[in-house]
Amino acid sequence: MSPTYSHSRLSTFENCPRQYRYRYIDKLPRPGPGIEAHVGICVHKALEFYFGELRAGRPAPSRADLLAVYERTWSATSVAELRIVRNGFDSDDYYLLGRHCLEIYQAGAAESEIGEVLGIEKKIDIRLDESGRYRLIGYIDRFMRGSDGVYEIHDYKTSGSLPRPRDIDKDRQLALYELGVRGELPATAQVRHVWHYLTFGRRFQRVLSRAQLQGFARATMSVIRRVEKETEYAARTQILCHWCDFNAHCPEGRVYLENQPQPGLPVAAR
């Protein structure tokens, strides 16, 4: 029987089949989370609180309340033990980055509050075919119905770079979430995908046609078939090796990293 996949599991395979093997087949122990993941968790928790209050019919939390949730989540982990890859950055820099994301989001949040919050961290079961052979699970950061009646799948990003238009066009994650959530919606429902690039205070959106959605379903089934036929699990060395949980186990990754400067400040600035 096929395992239940997720967008991130398939992305791991696409980025580096060796990493996929270490994580999902060999199930090597993983070191604790890196600091970037911790920032993401803390920001998501604060926004979960914010929209949970709205969903419960209470007033929008103040900036101070939002930041208090962020700080509590941040402090609940021993930050000194988190991995920091980037040269020239420390935990305070990352702490401030997360605060910055929330401050600029909260300042411009009015537009996001328009509509009805239907779910937060909503788990969805995605079936790509009738037989249930191709299944994935996912979690929607926020599911809403906009004031124009269009359902909205919101996703928060704390990454340090903005997507190019073709990255938005090609994004598989929210297409899969739409495929999962459509089973709960009227056949005629329209669905919008909304990404919040919180570091930049930018919002991107798209609407897919049925044909485009089916194209994502077919492409995803094709990736799953590739995963299931894979036998070699080649190492694909790249900048992401710096953040790979298994780089200490990976001979190719170790050789690659020995010859690479640590990411962070430009070489000239060190």
Nearest CA-CA partner of 236 in 68, 7, 12: 12
Binder of ligand SF4 out of 47, 198, 208, 241 (CB under 6 A): 241
Q: What string marks each residue from 99 to 138 as x (binds ligand SF4 by CB under 6 A) or -? A: ----------------------------------------
Mark the segment that binds ligand SF4 (CB under 6 A) among 28-36, 96-104, 128-136, 247-255.
247-255
* Contacts of ligand SF4 in 5-44 (CB under 6 A): 16, 18-19, 22
Rounded Cα–Cα distance for residues 39 and 33 (Å)? 10
Mark the segment that binds ligand SF4 (CB under 6 A) among 91-99, 118-126, 143-151, 236-244.
236-244
Binder of ligand SF4 out of 126, 174, 227, 235 (CB under 6 A): 235
Collapsing DSSP to helix, strand or coil, 178 comes out as: helix
Mark the segment that binds ligand SF4 (CB under 6 A) among 41-49, 146-154, 169-177, 237-245.
237-245
220 binds ligand SF4 (CB under 6 A): no
Cα–Cα distances in angstroms (integers) from residue 69 to residues 50, 53, 117, 141, in the given order? 9, 13, 20, 17
Q: HEC states along 107-139?
A: HCHHHHHCCEEEEEEEEEEEECCCCCCCEEEEE
Which tokens hold the place of 202?
Answer: 């930018």
Contact between 151 and 115 under an 8 Å Cβ cutoff? The reply is no
- With CB atoms as reference, the residue minimizing the distance to ligand SF4 is 253
174 binds ligand SF4 (CB under 6 A): no
Instruction: Report in angstroms how near the CB of residue 40 gets to ligand SF4 at its nearest.
Output: 19
Rounded Cα–Cα distance for residues 17 and 250 (Å)? 12
Rounded Cα–Cα distance for residues 144 and 135 (Å)? 24
Of the two residues 7 and 18, which places its CB atom closer to ligand SF4 in the complex?
18
Of the two residues 95 and 246, which places its CB atom closer to ligand SF4 in the complex?
246
Instruction: Report in angstroms how near the CB of residue 25 gets to ligand SF4 at its nearest.
Output: 12
Provide the sign of the torsion angle of the four alpha carbons 103, 108, 110, 115, taken in this order: negative
For ligand SF4, the binding residues (CB under 6 A) are 16, 18-19, 22, 235-237, 240-241, 244, 246-247, 250, 252-253
